[in-house]
A and B are shown apart, each in its own frame.
Chain A
């Protein structure tokens, strides 16, 4: 249903059921209560775990060393999350509904700084929460990356012990891959999708807010692995190494599974919002490319996420109650985890690419002042990548001995993905044809996305080729390849989005001079860091090692020093972000990029209800230079238009 037909349920909090009772400060839903709930929950879970396993030495020692009893840790985390969410007030309305009472309006308050630390039903607040959260997670994982590069300055002298190094590698990889999954869908998707499709709200505001409040829990649980001795299997968690590992591994599997739930919820919300909450006139042929990109992302999140959750759950039962899904001697298979993990993992890497496609294609028309070249082709490219992404996972297992005779098939499906990806390039090139290119900061990042993704995409073809992959697999070549697509693609697109949409989201413009410095340092630092790593990989350096051949030291040192430049450029971004949004707070003009997008028709930042009345969409978002093109939407449609639209639907339904 694209139209609000129940006025009483619009807005953010639903109908307030009388004034919420005033509670003591430590019981008021919010961050403090959540922390208290988490601490109490962990203590209860830990106690319960010890109680259950008492007297069962085979469960208490698990597959790990004799001092590791996984059950109290896992149950501790489980109750920690429940306590955390309860403190946030996630279950309050559920409880009220189950008790037959009306929901309260306690989530509806949407003024002041405090709302950013609460469970809230306003998708714009959730977007900002995500934005700040993602920047924190990204910087944490980035610091770990620089620690890795510091260790690799020398092939023989060690900064870290082998145990600490493996911990750092695992934490960096896992944090980037699991928490960055929502780096664009979280902040920009949640904030902008309703604005772009002309909706007053998202479909499932509670699930959306829940998806965010699971991420700090997952982040802290993942970090807590460091206190438990870390985990030694990187971000891929291959069994049986993961079964054998000590209790730090529980943190990995619990956090990753939790994040899996978060991405299912986040994806499902966006999916239903895009399909059902479009304003009248927002046909499939008028949807902005950013929304198309997120639609594909949401489909993959919703379908791939459950596999991850299931896999993590199976591993946790293997580690606690001694099931044997992944133990060869007991009828399980170590291949099973590889299959499950990559069946999630390969859609996952496209989850990390499609939002970037969407962002750059959204920006090109604005900064070239031209319509998007081949709108249908762009949408087809996104749909094609989405569908194909579920049929390629075994290219991660070319040398593993599993299904060796199917290697040509997976080579084919993988290489086929370069066709829809190529669409995105043709769309970009066609849009630049005879354009009037404005090299603003977001446009620079969007163009850099194409440059980086070109290298990342083409080297992906090398990896998909089974014979060449024999040398490349497991080496720095692969590592450089996916950093080109994810860091060079997704993160550059994220930066473009920050410079482009912060004037919308906060009403504040980031400093453009600092932005240009940030761009050039990041672009040069990034390429100088990762381009040599293709050579390092082809010259025989495997991933995740702390010792390497002496003749590779020059290249490795070059890469490490460049990575510091890259790190500095991110620091510049953080400085710019804090400086512009906290200190200077220069007001942005209403539509600083002169965009046609529907999201720019509202004030910045938009009012709580986004639009005072549901707009009627009149034309596509990219009609630049088209003579007599109507504005993208009518924000004050004549009375009766909506009623007519609704009765049309009802008539159609009655006839059907």
Chain B
């Protein structure tokens, strides 16, 4: 990047190179110092943390970009600062400045350097998107960047889970709450999101009404919840901890209050939580599986026909089983 700060060859004076050299040296010292401080002091604390592998990948990505971008920004700022100090108009100097119309060498260098930076950022970003299986972002109904053992069909998703396999959690968004369905454990639904430690998790995100976005912040997962669409995202839980779930797409009046909390537990604790929840919701689950069996998407207008009145009312807890907001009634639920 040194070439960018080379002075335009004016031919008028010999002091051009001195200005360029000075700017370059100031920039070099500052850029080195700022980059080192960032990488070793600030970088390890940058959000969104390390709870999910996707989150850790995003932190790494943000840090690499910052280390590349800080020197670029500093170069511009140092140059502007230097010019404003050195090349100020002096009182009673009415002469115009030197008529420099351009400098081919500098312009060509600038174009080359910025192109190289941009293309390397693109290469890096693509690698960081594909290698960590979509980096926690929503990948649509048929993800091509997925971890080994990803469960892409409904039959696979309903097959029982054992530690080491990909855990499938369906996220059902509606105005204005999230419900989570675990197809590998008999398809029960719960308002609580609990995950086992050290496992790949596949979120199948869908919506019953409008567009929401499932943002599990500390896990580094964000996937839009579209009605009629199964949007899949992956992350691997890395240690025990709590995380926040927020809706990240404006979804109406109570969008600001649409949040939830989740937990990453040890595998043994997770399994005991599963069996306790299965018992707790057993009666609900049996009706649910009868009239709204697990599917990748749900159509709320047909749920109503399948699950008749009393089911709707008693199962207000869960999404696919009942408490969905009618699109004809924006004031509800």
Interface residues of A (CB under 8 A from B): 61, 63-66, 162-163, 165-166, 169, 232-234, 236, 238, 240-241, 243-246, 328-329, 334-335, 368-377, 397-405, 407-408, 411-412, 415-416, 418-419, 422-423, 425-426, 429-430, 432-439, 447, 450-451, 454-455, 458, 461-462, 464-471, 473-475, 538-540, 542-547, 549, 623-627
Contacts and interface: CB of A to CB of B under 8 A. Distances in A.
Contact of A467 (B57, B96, B223, B229): B57
The 10 A-B pairs of least Cβ separation, nearest first, read A625-B96, A474-B248, A401-B231, A467-B135, A328-B228, A545-B256, A370-B97, A401-B140, A241-B210, A432-B83
7 contacts: A399-B137, A407-B137, A419-B111, A437-B88, A451-B77, A458-B72, A545-B246
A174 B56 CA distance: 36
Interface stretch (B121-129, B178-186, B275-283, B316-324): B121-129
Interface in B26-62: 46-48, 54-55, 57-58, 61-62
B132 A470 contact: no
Contact of A458 (B69, B257, B327, B328): B69
Given A162-B257, A542-B246, A625-B97, A426 B129 contact: no
A370 B213 contact: no
Contact of B98 (A370, A465, A546): A370
Contact of B77 (A236, A454, A625): A454
Contacts of A626: 99
Contact of A401 (B73, B80, B121, B224): B224
B255 interface: yes
B107 interface: yes
A399 B330 contact: no
Interface in B113-165: 114-115, 118, 121-122, 125-126, 128-130, 132, 134-141, 143-144
Given A399-B222, A433-B100, A471-B48, A404 B122 contact: no
A240 B209 contact: yes
A63 B327 contact: yes
A433 B69 CA distance: 23
A625 B96 CA distance: 5
A546 B249 CA distance: 14
Nearest to A547: B256
Contacts, number: 314
A166 B327 contact: no
A468 B129 CA distance: 9
Contacts of A372: 101
A371 B330 contact: no
Nearest to B70: A458
A412 B125 CA distance: 9
B65 A465 contact: yes
Contacts of B227: 240, 328, 334
B80 A399 contact: no
Interface in B201-260: 205, 209-211, 213, 215, 217, 220-224, 226-233, 244, 246-257, 259
B110 interface: yes
A405 B247 CA distance: 24
A538 B47 contact: yes
Given A329-B228, A430-B100, A625-B99, A465 B252 contact: no
Contact of A404 (B69, B87, B136, B140): B140
Dominant SS at the B interface? mixed
B35 to A, nearest CB: 14
Interface of B: 7-8, 10, 16, 19, 46-48, 54-55, 57-58, 61-62, 65, 69, 72-73, 76-77, 79-80, 83-84, 87-90, 93, 95-103, 106-107, 110-111, 114-115, 118, 121-122, 125-126, 128-130, 132, 134-141, 143-144, 205, 209-211, 213, 215, 217, 220-224, 226-233, 244, 246-257, 259, 299, 301, 327-331
Contacts of A166: 250, 252-253, 255
A334 B211 CA distance: 8
Contact of B253 (A162, A433, A434, A465): A162
B46 to A, nearest CB: 7
Contacts of A233: 250, 252
B327 A430 contact: no
Contacts of B126: 408, 411
Contacts of A467: 57-58, 61, 125, 128-129, 132, 135-137
Given A401-B224, A404-B134, A538-B47, A419 B115 contact: yes
A503 to B, nearest CB: 20
B96 A369 contact: yes
Nearest to B103: A430
B121 A407 contact: no
B133 to A, nearest CB: 11
Of A240, A328, A450, A467, chain B has the most CB atoms within 10 Å of the CB of: A467
Nearest to A535: B47
B8 A430 contact: yes
A381 B138 CA distance: 34
A466 B255 CA distance: 24
B229 A434 contact: no
B106 A400 contact: no
